[in-house]
Structure 1
């Protein structure tokens, strides 16, 4: 009887010591976790602004324009994923929407993400982003724009192509930045190309801004 009492007392004592030992550690861990939660967002923001792969000029642009942390992350992401030097003022819905279309296969007469031709792609983007209904062919679409100089193109302007002087317009795309445009190519579907690549430089005809 006495033996059982002693064993019970020892077990109770051991449990009490275990509780006293574990409780402070648990409390400290919780406090540490809360501290990390409170500061992690600030630390991440500082890291993004000082270590983004697009360079310090992007960090400075974000600060100057007083962007939210969410906005700076958005522009950093699309700057890298689209390979563009963004100024943090571009239309966010345009960047996000065209990005979703990359890789869509080419399909003559198509205008959906199951398959699209060049004018079908452009009309779909303009309808979704700007609520504007453009003409369905690249040739007639040229009548919907005001021509702008190649040196004055802005994100969202349209770029038109033809195969030589006097030839009809046969292709259209949407200008992005840095001499790059997005379009639905016969071979490859929706992709980003440079206006300065030999083929597109040779066939570039004009740029236009939707009226």
Structure 2
């Protein structure tokens, strides 16, 4: 196993274990295939490539590839494109927003299942994290769902 890129194949145990689900529960295979392709990509502020990507570009790339939708290029602007939803109503593909700088929305991730979300972390690159982790509980701002476009 390559230690630089954790094994995360959609049908492999690692991703399923991270999400606390079985392979039969995976309904959006395109979503998880995209995550598999990008998992472990390093973080780079303003980056939009597998060699370095930030959270808003990762979100935009995922949405374009999986849902055929473009998003804004900053986490704050993406939030403006969303309808606010409660955590209890989160579904796969919804967005989670954080205030990590103490001032305004500065981070975005894509909700998966069981309080897990995928994002481009400034310290670890593209990873799956848990909303229950102390850091994310402290910095969580809101959940949102992109508004329907005509």
State the TM-score, normalized to the length of structure 2: 0.83
1:128 to 61, 65, 80: 65
Q: Indicate conservation of the 8 Å contact 1:90/1:155, yes or no.
A: no
Pairwise CA distance, 1:140: 0.4
2:35 equivalent to 1:81? no
Bigger share in helix: 1
> How many matched pairs?
135
After the TM superposition, list the runs of 4 or more consecutive aligned residues in structure 1 that deviate by more than 3 angstroms: none
Partner of 1:100: 37
Q: How does 1:108-147 map to 2 (within 5 A)?
A: 108-147=45-84
SS in 2 for 1:169: coil
1:90 CA drift (Å):
2.5
Evaluate the alpha carbon distance shift between residue 148 and residue 108 of structure 1 in structure 2; reply closer, same or farther with a 3 A threshold: same
Structure 1 length as normaliser, TM-score?
0.60
- Of 100, 105, 123, the residue aligned with 1:187 is 123
Structure 2: where are the runs of 5+ without partners? 1-8
Partner of 2:85: 148
Q: 1:170 aligns with which of 94, 106, 115?
A: 106
Deviation of residue 210 (structure 1)? 1.2
Q: What is the distance in 2 between the residues matched to 1:106 and 1:115?
A: 5
- The structure with higher relative contact order (CA 8 Å, sep 6+) is 2
Distance 1:154 1:196 in 2: 16
- Larger Rg computed on CA atoms: 1
Q: Distance in 2 between matches of 1:124 and 1:164?
A: 24
Aligned to 2:6: none
Alpha-carbon shift at residue 98 of structure 1 (Å): 1.1
Displacement after TM superposition at 1:88 (Å): 2.7
Structure 1 vs Structure 2 CA RMSD: 1.9
CA deviations on 1:131-185 (whole Å, 9 max, x unpaired) are 10100000000011111111110111100001488x2100000011111111001
- Structure having the higher strand fraction is 2
